[in-house]
């Protein structure tokens, strides 16, 4: 039997939602991860200290006794400045920027990337040491959106050299290439974008549970993502972008974007890394890199995974996970918190 023990696994891009959905999904992440970067795209989004603190409290309530740190984010607004951010900077792990209307609950996002418009907010974040996470897609043709956004990432990286910029859930070989051109560019990569291409989403019968933004791309893009994930490139981190929607919102005309992977992520990653003979790099991909990049000290938790198969449940509450009903070759054997 092969096994791996992960220390303080982290999910650096997670949607926990609110209310009933929060109570369903938060315990599933809190069980297997030491912490996660919590996305702010609620309705309305998290845009101030009061909203951020209240949401953090609701998350802690939902996870009960589990030892898990919700690393909180604020939804980017051009109006942010030093006076606004400074009083609660220590509670903000990152600010998340969405282009307006690009994905679920992003209507209040940014509608132009002129540097001067963004300068007050981004200079304040640089000064306070708050990283900027970006959903990098233009309004162009769906398969080109991320590629078209790369020059914007680069322009921002050059204009704000002291700002850490995280290219969220990258899906395109061009984004991977940009990583090494700027010292302050980083990236998260999801599980699903390491496993699927557009073929799995729409090549046969349409698979709504694999539909997400950014859409999965070409085989050569997936290869580029796999290469940097498997080698645990020091500037990439695991971020599941696990984005639960109730089944009726997915299996519908006007299918909501989002793949729910939180409860299967670690076994599926272990299987993937083992298949490629790279298990020794998984610790860096799911924890060490993120700790260094975000300068965080997550609560102690060890997760031992073994190559014993598990069957993925058909549903968690109202949410259908990726690989529902299928088998994963690895499973969690033990969780050690001391």
CB of 243 to Zn ion, least distance (A): 6
**Which is nearer to ligand DOR, 82 or 257 (by Cβ)?**
257
CB of 131 to Zn ion, least distance (A): 15
Question: For residues 305-324, which are near ligand DOR according to CB under 6 A?
Answer: none
Task: Determine if residue 297 is left, alpha or beta; phi over 0 gives left, psi from -120 to 50 gives alpha, anything else beta.
Answer: beta
83 is catalytic: no
Question: For residues 22-41, which are near ligand DOR according to CB under 6 A?
Answer: 41
Q: Which residues of 11-31 are buried (b: 16+ CB within 10 A; e: fewer)?
A: bbbbbbbeeebbbbbbbbbbb
- Binding-site member from 47, 73, 103, 242 for ligand DOR (CB under 6 A): 103
Task: Determine if residue 323 is left, alpha or beta; phi over 0 gives left, psi from -120 to 50 gives alpha, anything else beta.
Answer: left
Task: Sketch the per residue contact string, 240 through 259, with Zn ion: x for CB under 5 A, - otherwise.
Answer: -x------------------
* First-to-last C-alpha distance (Å) of the chain: 25
DSSP 178-200: HHTT-TTEEEEE-SHHHH--HII
Among the listed residues 172, 180, 241, 307, the single catalytic one is 241
Three-state SS annotation for 44-62: CCCCCHHHHHHHHHHHHHH
Does position 135 bind ligand DOR by CB under 6 A? Answer: yes
Does position 174 bind Zn ion by CB under 5 A? Answer: no
CA distances from 145 to 75, 98, 174, 216 (A): 21, 13, 11, 12
Q: Which does 110 bind (CB under 5 to 8 A by kind): Zn ion, ligand DOR, none?
A: none
Does position 15 bind ligand DOR by CB under 6 A? Answer: yes
Region from 27-35, 142-150, 153-161, 234-242 binding Zn ion, contact rule CB under 5 A: 234-242
Residues that bind ligand DOR (CB under 6 A): 15, 41, 103-104, 135, 212-213, 243, 257-258
């Amino acid at each position: 039997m092969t096994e791996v023990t992960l220390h303080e696994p982290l999910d650096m891009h997670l949607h926990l939602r609110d209310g009933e959905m929060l109570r369903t999904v938060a315990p599933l992440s809190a069980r297997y991860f030491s912490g996660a970067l919590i996305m702010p795209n609620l309705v309305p989004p998290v845009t101030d200290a009061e909203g951020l603190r209240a949401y953090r409290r609701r998350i802690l309530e939902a996870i009960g006794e589990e030892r898990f740190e919700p690393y909180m984010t604020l939804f980017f607004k051009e109006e942010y400045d030093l006076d606004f951010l400074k009083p609660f900077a220590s509670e903000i792990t990152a600010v998340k920027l969405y282009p307006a209307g690009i994905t679920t609950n992003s209507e209040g996002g940014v509608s132009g990337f002129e540097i001067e418009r963004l300068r007050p907010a981004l200079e304040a974040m640089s000064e306070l040491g708050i990283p900027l996470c970006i959903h990098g897609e233009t309004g162009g043709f769906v398969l080109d959106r991320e590629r078209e956004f790369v020059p914007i990432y680069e322009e921002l990286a050059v204009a704000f050299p002291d700002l850490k910029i995280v290219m969220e859930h990258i899906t395109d070989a061009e984004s991977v290439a940009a990583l090494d051109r700027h010292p302050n560019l980083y990236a998260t990569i999801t599980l699903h974008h390491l496993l699927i291409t557009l073929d799995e989403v729409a090549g046969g019968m349409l698979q709504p549970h694999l539909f997400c933004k950014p859409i999965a791309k070409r085989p050569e893009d997936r290869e580029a993502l796999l290469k940097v994930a498997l080698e645990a490139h020091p500037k990439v981190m695991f971020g599941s972008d696990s984005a639960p929607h109730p089944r009726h919102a997915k299996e519908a005309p006007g299918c909501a974007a989002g793949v729910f992977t939180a409860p299967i992520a670690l076994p599926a990653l272990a299987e993937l890394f083992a298949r490629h003979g790279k298990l020794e790099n998984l610790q860096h991909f799911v924890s060490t890199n993120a700790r260094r990049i975000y300068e965080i000290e997550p609560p102690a938790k060890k997760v031992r995974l073994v190559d014993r198969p598990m069957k993925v449940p058909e549903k968690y509450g109202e949410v259908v996970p990726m690989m529902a009903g299928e088998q994963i070759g690895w499973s969690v054997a033990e969780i050690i918190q001391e």
